[in-house]
Structure 1
Amino acid sequence: MSQSILFSPLPLSQISLNNRIVVSPMCQYSAQDGKATEWHLVHLGQFAIGRAGAVIQEATAVSPAGRITYGDMGLWNDQQAEKLKPIAAFIQSQDSIPGIQLAHAGRKASTQLPWLGREQFAPAHPHGWQTVAPSPIPYHADEHPPIALTVDELKSIVDDFRAATKRAVQAGYQIIEIHAAHGYLIHQFLSPLVNERTDAYGGSFENRTRLLKEIIAAVRPELGHAHSLWVRLSATDWAEGGWNLQESIRLIGELKNMGVEVADISSGGAVHHQEIPVEPGYQVPFAEEVKRETGIYTGTVGLITTAQQATDILERDAADLILLGREFLRYPHVVYHWAQELGVPISWAPQYERAKLS
């Protein structure tokens, strides 16, 4: 049997992942009033049984208006937190690290479940509500315009993230990831293509990044022993005049100094029309550049589908973690498969050991 960097531990400051394969947050749109159901326990639990190094729960809204759809998970009240405790406990029981992604959808909220159409509901619709954003610009031209947030409302959103972090920690999650990517509210503030404000939250780099840094400053004290703070960031808008890689590097450097331990690097999502050269590993260079320039631990995503591809990324020091989404949906126990493919000894759940190939 051989050794592999893919199956080596990653010791962070307060926690240690058993391997470098992480379940990326994937919305299931199956919550009830923001509360988890049996679906979420089984969905997330299967990945922990399969020995993922960490399991990051889907984008979980910090307020009702922050949901993408009416089926989104939420963490704005204690009843929702109670439903999450069995999920975090089960993931831990399988020697995996439970994580949660906290989010606010901003102008991309109030939409239909994706398998029913994805259209955005008007505020008066039974499944809709008024969306908010840095500026009153809709994502699609034919959508109901969002309302520009006031400074007082921004302070409330910062507190929503703080309160959700506190609940997440109490529920047992050890990784708290702030979602600042894919065109959702925090990313909307970062991007000059979406943020046309002229106050302290718009215009300059310092102003456009202010909301995220206020959120980080607010949530960091809520983390205690055995916790790690991550940020998911879109490294580029893939659009002229938008948020770009150099700004991402500058921001991640500042966030690292504020206590962010891992940068989960993705891209795109801020504007509707993008030309993205999608191919295997197409987002890896962004994580590699962020890692080289800032020294922060990075996770990379995007069409990573084989053990050798993932290994090559880590061996050339382009990233520290491999986050998989669709590959885990296709093969919930992909970690077992990759370990056997690479000839790496890992412990299987004893209930599943009879399936090991000799």
Structure 2
Amino acid sequence: MSLLFTPLTLRETTVRNRLWVSPMCQYSAVDGVPQEWHHTHLAQFASGGAGMVVAEATAVVPEGRISPEDAGLWTDEQRDAWAPITAAIRSRGAVPGVQLAHAGRKASTWSPFSGRRGSVPAADGGWQTVAPSALAYDGFAEPVALDAAGIDAVVAAFGAAAARAIEAGFEVLEVHAAHGYLLHQFLSPLTNVRDDEYGGSIENRARLLLRVLDAVRAAAPAAPLLVRFSASDAAPGGWDADDTSTVARWAADRGADFFDISSGGLVAHQQITTGPGYQVDLAEHVRRVAGVPVNAVGMIDDAAHAESILAAGRADAIMSGRQWLRDPHFALTAAGELGIDIGYWPPQYVRARRG
């Protein structure tokens, strides 16, 4: 019996397996509107047997985009463009999810396709960035520290984007509190030096995230809700796995159902050694200490490795990114490698099945 191909139920949503597609930025939207590229890109993973397909970091406000080419959910036009994409994912048997995000001080940057790095100037379509404190990411423009009204607006924007996501047909919502983006910036003492109710203690630094979760849960009371954390800043004095475990428990109390455990992205001087499964220890720590379900990420590229992580009780699901780009039928491939008859090969592809 394969744990990787055992269904998992979150609230009223059953996911057909535990091999999921991580959100991966495509830098291919126009004014926040997803394009035909997004439709083909995401639907192919559902055809390839994924249990859940999570769309890329999707900005809740224009100034929350990582680049001018990022997707969004701050308008009804964007919502309506997402609808046929979610329908395509669902019609192929996978659960469509979306990652709601605000990039904070790491917004308004050039896309990786541009050949340029750093902040996009206003003359080229860039904008003023915001953050918990006026501390710039190395090589980027200095952000403006959010005031109380700005913080309230961020909370409201996450709630409004969550409502649009449900209207667009997304069944699972993920709040992005990782990789050095706005909510992570509030969580970490390296980027949050405020002296008000949003700074100082871990309770204060977590306040914005918990308010966002309240707003998202109010807008989408029945949807499974994931939170992505960077469980380590990989830098002295930064956020760590114990901090993550503490806040994950609080988040679960506010209605979060599952936790997506990654690492890094906050500061340029981070020190991370990569390799197959290099972030699994962090997921295992949060699962054990916080007592919450988690998925593991980080170069988990083959079926046996993914199965072994679940079998050892280190995580409850697996998310992969680049491997799905290399093999959009990763789940079909993995089932074959494990000798599992999953029963949901697309009939158009059955003649290609091995064994």
> Is the 1:121–1:127 Cα contact (8 Å) retained in structure 2?
no
What are the superposed Cα offsets for residues 14-49 of structure 1, whole Å, 9 maximum, x if unpaired?
Answer: 211110000000000000100010000000000001
Q: In 2, Cα distance between the equivalents of 1:295 and 1:249?
A: 8
Counterpart of 1:42 (choices 31, 40, 43) is 40
Normalising by structure 1, what TM-score?
0.97
CA distance in 1, matches of 2:330, 2:215: 36
How far off its partner does 1:293 sit? 1.7
Equivalent in 249, 253, 274 of residue 253 of structure 1: 249
- The one-letter code sitting in structure 2 at the alignment partner of 1:112 is W
Q: Which residue of 1 aligns with 2:189?
A: 192
1:120 and 1:279 map into 2 onto residues whose CA distance is 27
1:123 deviation in Å?
4.4
Cα distance, 1:341–1:84 mapped onto 2, change above 3 Å: same
Quote the Cα distance in structure 1 between the aligned partners of 2:58 and 2:123. Answer: 22
Specify the alignment match of 2:232 in structure 1: 236
Task: Name the aligned partner's letter for residue 204 of structure 1.
Answer: S
Superposition deviation, residue 119 in structure 1: 1.9
**Counterpart among 140, 150, 159 of residue 162 in structure 1:** 159
Partner AA of 1:153 in structure 2:
G
What is the alpha-carbon distance in structure 2 between the residues aligned to residue 89 and residue 122 of structure 1?
34
1:122–1:130 Cα contact (<8 Å) kept:
no
| Alpha-carbon shift at residue 125 of structure 1 (Å) | 2.5
Q: Distance in 2 between matches of 1:38 and 1:103?
A: 22
Of 280, 295, 302 in structure 1, the residue corresponding to residue 291 of structure 2 is 295
Q: How far apart are residue 258 of structure 1 and its match?
A: 1.0
Alignment of structure 1 residues 1-358 onto 2, 5 Å: 3-140=1-138, 142-225=139-222, 227-346=223-342, 347-358=344-355
Task: Note the C-alpha offset of 1:223.
Answer: 1.5
The 3-state SS of whatever aligns with 1:84 is helix
CA distance in 2 between counterparts of 1:340 and 1:121 reads 45
**SS in structure 1 opposite 2:295?**
strand
Other structure's SS at 1:11 match: strand
CA contact (8 A) 2:187 2:239 kept: yes
Rounded to whole Å, the distance in 2 between the matches of 1:62 and 1:31 is: 14
Contact 1:61/1:67 (8 A) holds in 2: yes
How much has 1:122 moved relative to structure 2? 4.8
Asked if the contact 2:18–2:51 (Cα under 8 Å) also holds between the matched residues in 1, the reply is: yes
- For residues 145 and 253 of structure 2, the distance between their equivalents in structure 1, rounded to whole angstroms, comes to 30
**1:52 & 1:275 partners in 2: Cα distance?**
32
Length, aligned pairs only:
354
Aligned-residue CA RMSD (Å): 1.0
- Deviant stretches of 4+, over 3 Å: none
Structure 2 unaligned regions, length at least 5 = none
Q: TM-score, normalised by structure 2?
A: 0.98
DSSP 3-state at the match of 1:339: helix
Q: Which moved more, 1:117-126 or 1:106-115?
A: 117-126
Q: Percent identity?
A: 50
Alignment check: 8 A CA contact 1:109 1:120 kept: no
Amino acid in the other structure paired with 2:314:
A
Matched residue type, 2:241 = L
